[in-house]
């Protein structure tokens, strides 16, 4: 079941990110581009670096720590420390410098989204939800934060909370987009909401949303592809094949390979590992499994559920 849910969120990530939103799980290249420190990141959950590389990374991290003892707001050193600790798989050690980066850069939401994903990875679910919601308070249409909180709620078996989050975002979209055009990408939010309906088995609701998205943006390949995936899983392969062909024709050249892979099935999906690929997949409950009017996160006494 975990593998199935992860594949589903992988699918929706490809669909959502295809419009240009870059998920925060690939923010390490973002950090690398800003700081000039070389090194290949070690993805979370993968084998750690070799002994020599680890020693070098530890020395680098210690160097940044020494700089920060003298200059606590030195952003280059903070970014370098975050990068080194990520490569060392020290996620708990990433939290404090990421919080500092988020504080120093309130207009760069990627830092706070990565903070949310990091807290989620180490089990601080309340902290993760708070980080996503902080972004959404300032940027109600931020797709990274929306997808992060949506996936978190789904992971916690709170689909109704996820649905409420996304419905509120859609309801406020006209007003937000009137104030600042482009604030909320309605099509991407519809895709996320439809995916939540798929997760809870409400296929009719999901298909209705896909049809609305297709009617609103007939040149957008994403709802066409998403509807095809749902129909294929529902046993309607001939109908799905027609939609897959249509989606491939509509997709920009850089996304045609992903469309073919998704149409071929989960076993054919290849997750790119670099920023140049432009599409990244969330970890389980990233994000990959954030808005006004949604209650502030509260935890049950056992700490497992977020209100």
Q: Is residue 285 part of a domain?
A: no
Place of tokens 């699918």: 11
Residue 51 is predicted with a pLDDT of 84
Question: What was the pLDDT predicted at 213?
Answer: 92
Is the residue at 289 inside a domain?
A: no
Buried b (16+ CB within 10 A) or exposed e, 4-20: ebbebbbbbbbbbbbee
What is the pLDDT tens value at each position of the chain, 307 positions in all?
444 444 444 444 444 433 333 232 333 333 334 433 333 333 444 566 788 888 999 999 999 999 999 999 999 999 999 989 988 889 899 999 999 999 999 998 988 998 998 898 888 999 999 999 999 999 999 998 998 999 899 888 899 999 999 999 999 999 999 999 999 999 989 999 998 999 888 999 999 999 999 999 999 999 999 999 999 989 999 999 999 999 999 998 988 888 898 888 765 544 443 333 433 333 433 333 333 333 333 333 344 444 4
Q: What is the pLDDT of residue 299?
A: 36
Burial of 160 (0-12, 13-18, 19+ CB in 10 A): exposed
CA-to-CA distance for 94 and 82, rounded, in angstroms?
5
Query: Which phi and psi (to 5°) does residue 222 adopt?
Result: -65, -50
pTM of the model as a whole: 0.69
For residue 10, being part of any structural domain is answered with yes
218 occurs within a structural domain: yes
Q: With respect to residue 191, please indicate whether it lies within any of the assigned structural domains.
A: yes
Q: Is residue 188 part of a domain?
A: yes
pLDDT at position 35 is: 39
* Domain interval for residue 262: 2-277
Residue 175: exposure state from Cβ atoms within 10 A (0-12, 13-18, ≥19):
exposed
DSSP 301: T
The DSSP annotation for 87-130 comes to HTT-HHHHHHHHHHHHHH-TT-HHHHHHHHHHHHHTT-HHHHHH
Euclidean distance between the first and final Cα of the chain, in Å? 23
3-state SS assignment for residue 299 = strand
User: What's the domain count of the chain?
Assistant: 1
Dist. CA 306–CA 42, nearest whole Å: 30
**Alpha-carbon span 243 to 224, nearest angstrom:** 6
278-297 b/e (C-beta count within 10 Å ≥ 16 → b): ebbbbbbbbbbbbbeebeeb
Residue 234 located in a structural domain: yes
* CATH assignment at residue 196: 1.25.40.10
Is 43 domain-assigned?
A: yes
Give dist(CA 130, CA 136) in Å, integer. Answer: 10
């Amino acid at each position: 079941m975990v593998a199935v849910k992860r594949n589903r969120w992988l699918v929706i990530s490809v669909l959502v990110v295809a419009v240009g939103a870059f998920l925060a799980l690939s923010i390490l290249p973002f950090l690398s581009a800003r700081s000039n420190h070389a090194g290949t990141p070690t993805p979370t959950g993968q084998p750690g670096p070799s002994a020599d590389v680890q020693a070098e990374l530890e020395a680098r991290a210690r160097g940044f720590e020494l700089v920060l003892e003298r200059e606590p707001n030195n952003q280059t050193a903070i970014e370098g420390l975050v990068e080194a600790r990520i490569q060392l798989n020290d996620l708990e050690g990433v939290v404090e410098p990421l919080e500092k980066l988020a504080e120093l850069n309130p207009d760069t939401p990627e830092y706070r989204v990565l903070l949310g994903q990091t807290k989620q990875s180490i089990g601080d679910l309340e902290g993760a939800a708070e980080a996503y919601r902080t972004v959404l308070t300032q940027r109600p249409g931020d797709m990274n934060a929306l997808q992060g909180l949506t996936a978190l709620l789904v992971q916690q078996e709170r689909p109704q909370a996820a649905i409420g989050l996304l419905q509120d975002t859609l309801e406020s979209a006209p007003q937000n987009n009137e104030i600042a055009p482009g604030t909320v990408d309605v099509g991407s939010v519809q895709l996320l909401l439809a995916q939540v309906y798929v997760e809870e088995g409400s296929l009719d609701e999901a298909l209705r949303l896909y049809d609305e998205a297709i009617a609103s943006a007939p040149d957008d390949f994403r709802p066409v592809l998403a509807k095809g995936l749902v129909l294929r899983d529902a046993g309607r392969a001939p109908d799905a094949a027609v939609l897959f062909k249509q989606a491939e024709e509509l997709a920009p050249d850089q996304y045609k390979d992903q469309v073919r892979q998704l149409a071929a099935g989960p076993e054919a999906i290849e997750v790119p590992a670099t920023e140049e690929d432009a599409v990244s997949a969330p970890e389980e409950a990233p994000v990959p499994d954030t808005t006004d009017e949604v209650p502030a996160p509260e935890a049950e006494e056992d700490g497992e559920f977020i209100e």
